[in-house]
Structure 1
């Protein structure tokens, strides 16, 4: 499933979360029931930061912010169906632009089946976001409801079939000019076990989207790819193909599309990760965008307690059906460190910079900021 306008943003937040997840050692649960079959965790944290352009627009102003989050997580491993559920609340408070203060709850539950001939998972989420959207150069408040249902069925020892069904509903608050968005998608992939480490596949995805002003689009993506051990020490998934987008009552577009996620452990301490994609997306004004992005992340584990990371990313966004032609290119970098005092407490610091160049004057801006956070999990 492709979330509208999210792909137009630098991959700063996702990289931070990935670094934290890769580096952090699992902490003991607050409560264990039946051994480790049922576990309950609680977590929380606070942070302080500065963003030089909180509106993602030319001559946009900056502000300091204080953030906090708290939540609980349930892991159940009894029976053939596993359950992972999370409830969390985020809060952000700005020093000057207090009208941008926000409470953002998020909930998710995932059911999984990993035994038997047919395996799969169902994940349902709901979350509120308050953020600057680089595609429309405004701050937005929205509720999103994504659902994803995946299945895997083995045909024989060499072939297996996967299905991924996705649904997304996004509604915007406090701005009548922004369009609510709904999409559903279905992806089918046929895999061939090429070696014990590498699988090859051929896939097809159909995606239908609609905005609240009745604008509709239909995508078809035919692709080939590989997953597993790609080269020597490199592993991941790459996918390449041709995609068609038909916007009802407007134009048709065709392009080569791709996605890649590759990890390269150079040494026991240094890990390089490459993320890249080219795809169509739909932003909050209903415009279709041809988005291309790439990010290279380096994670250096100095010790079991301390690690450092650095990230470079760049991208291009071509706005397809706007009355005024617009093309954006961006470049960003980020660096930071994370220190784990023990199994339950850690802290981190990051600094980031973004430069967005656009044929639209309002969208030609740069941005820099820093953040410091302390978090705990039991």
Structure 2
């Protein structure tokens, strides 16, 4: 803890003589945040172990908006020191960089490339344990307008997550999309091809590493309504997944099936009758993008619904509901349904508050496990000086499961102060 106090003092002294530094056509700036946190359940178990710890996070940022390419980069390190559980002391790196083409709306092409590396440690409810994680991600996007009514876009996402326990996972997702507007009675044609891969280290209940490759081709029609602010889409396609024979010995390594999705994007509630409400909705019926161990490829209904109501000038009410399929750190498929209700309130010009309550229920394939989660959070943000901010947050999580070892409660309270040099 003394290390944090000494570093915080140096950061404050530096702040009195530092400012944004011009570099070429951009500038470099710095910030620092000091946080005190109490966590009632550091390891996510029913015999909870709590502790208080301090975090100091200095960060340096670079931003360039001039010219054809906009560039940004951030580098930070978090020093964590615990009062009692000193074996959890750590220094976690957080690095990211992004390059993108500026004023893309004024050109017939656009592009973005970004990379990030983050180290962290936190409770993971999939295995009810604290996991140290090193995550590397790469994202690339590009689009080209090929004619008055047509364009081509491509996307690639890669993530490599290394964990102290549970499975390491490498996921690659790529797609190429061709779109042609006013194709058929005012509808737009959309054709997409996808290639995805998944590899894991096999730290799971069966000791089997996942090795998957999938290919898919979809096509569909999209149409806009309400002066082009609401888009409805219907897409149908076919997907092939090649898996290692060890993943599911009772089924063929090659699986295939259809993909069906229905998408409604934009304010599905008419603005004429609901001028203070923004909304969005999407729905699809398909198998998991990255199926887990013994996942038989059965299809699930997944989607999202969001509503935001500007109740008053300073009051905003949020509601969201979603159903997703994901790959757990234990290499099994998890289907989660969640609902959340939130409130954002501006109490003063320099003081804002948030409240959120939610309920989730999850089913873990292969494990015969069902979880029900009640969560709540609250926060206050106070901008008390030109370059100073203070944040107070509270988080509560209560998990009830048919597995006793997966049932626990957790309270986390944090107070932080940040300074922008």
One fold, TM greater than 0.5? yes
Identify if the C-alpha distance between structure 1 residues 139 and 200 changes in structure 2 by more than 3 Å, giving closer, same or farther: farther
Identify if the C-alpha distance between structure 1 residues 51 and 247 changes in structure 2 by more than 3 Å, giving closer, same or farther: closer
In 2, the alpha carbon distance for the partners of 1:132 and 1:203 equals: 41
- TM-score scaled by length of structure 2: 0.73
1:373 corresponds to: 416
In 2, the alpha carbon distance for the partners of 1:126 and 1:237 equals: 31
Higher RCO (CA-CA < 8 Å; seq separation 6+): 1
Ranges in structure 2 where 5+ consecutive residues have no aligned partner = 1-17, 203-208, 215-238, 240-258
Contact preservation (8 Å) 1:287, 1:319? yes
Asked whether 1:215 is paired with 2:210, we answer yes
1:244 corresponds to: 287
Asked whether 1:336 is paired with 2:379, we answer yes
- 1:300-336 Cα offsets, whole Å, 9 max, x none, are 11222101110112212211123xx111110101112
2:60 corresponds to: 72
Contact preservation (8 Å) 2:34, 2:57? yes
The DSSP-based 3-state class of the residue aligned with 2:334 is strand
1:225 corresponds to: 263
Shift of 1:87: 0.5
The DSSP-based 3-state class of the residue aligned with 2:348 is coil
Shift of 1:105: 0.5
2:40 corresponds to: 52
In 2, the alpha carbon distance for the partners of 1:308 and 1:125 equals: 30
Which entry has the higher C-alpha Rg, 1 or 2? 2
Contact preservation (8 Å) 2:172, 2:196? yes
The DSSP-based 3-state class of the residue aligned with 2:48 is coil
Contact preservation (8 Å) 2:71, 2:99? yes
Shift of 1:84: 1.1
In 1, the alpha carbon distance for the partners of 2:98 and 2:177 equals: 22
Identify if the C-alpha distance between structure 1 residues 363 and 240 changes in structure 2 by more than 3 Å, giving closer, same or farther: same
Contact preservation (8 Å) 1:29, 1:39? no
Identify if the C-alpha distance between structure 1 residues 75 and 364 changes in structure 2 by more than 3 Å, giving closer, same or farther: same
1:311 corresponds to: 356
Q: How many residues align?
A: 340
Question: For 2:304, which of 250, 255, 259 is the aligned residue?
Answer: 259
In 2, the alpha carbon distance for the partners of 1:224 and 1:118 equals: 28
Identify if the C-alpha distance between structure 1 residues 288 and 217 changes in structure 2 by more than 3 Å, giving closer, same or farther: farther
1:110 corresponds to: 98
2:163 corresponds to: 172
Contact preservation (8 Å) 1:132, 1:138? yes
- 1:129-175 Cα offsets, whole Å, 9 max, x none, are 111111111011111111112233446667655443211101123x4
Ranges in structure 1 where 5+ consecutive residues have no aligned partner = 1-27
- TM-score scaled by length of structure 1: 0.80
Which moved further from structure 2: 162-171 or 81-90? 162-171
Asked whether 1:31 is paired with 2:76, we answer no
Contact preservation (8 Å) 2:119, 2:134? yes
Asked whether 1:97 is paired with 2:85, we answer yes
C-alpha RMSD over aligned residues: 2.9
In 2, the alpha carbon distance for the partners of 1:316 and 1:187 equals: 31
In 2, the alpha carbon distance for the partners of 1:225 and 1:317 equals: 24
Contact preservation (8 Å) 1:125, 1:147? yes
Shift of 1:368: 1.5
Shift of 1:247: 4.9
Identify if the C-alpha distance between structure 1 residues 262 and 45 changes in structure 2 by more than 3 Å, giving closer, same or farther: same
In 2, the alpha carbon distance for the partners of 1:42 and 1:243 equals: 45
In 2, the alpha carbon distance for the partners of 1:330 and 1:203 equals: 39
- 1:1-40 Cα offsets, whole Å, 9 max, x none, are xxxxxxxxxxxxxxxxxxxxxxxxxxx9622457xx5122
1:9 corresponds to: none
The DSSP-based 3-state class of the residue aligned with 2:299 is strand
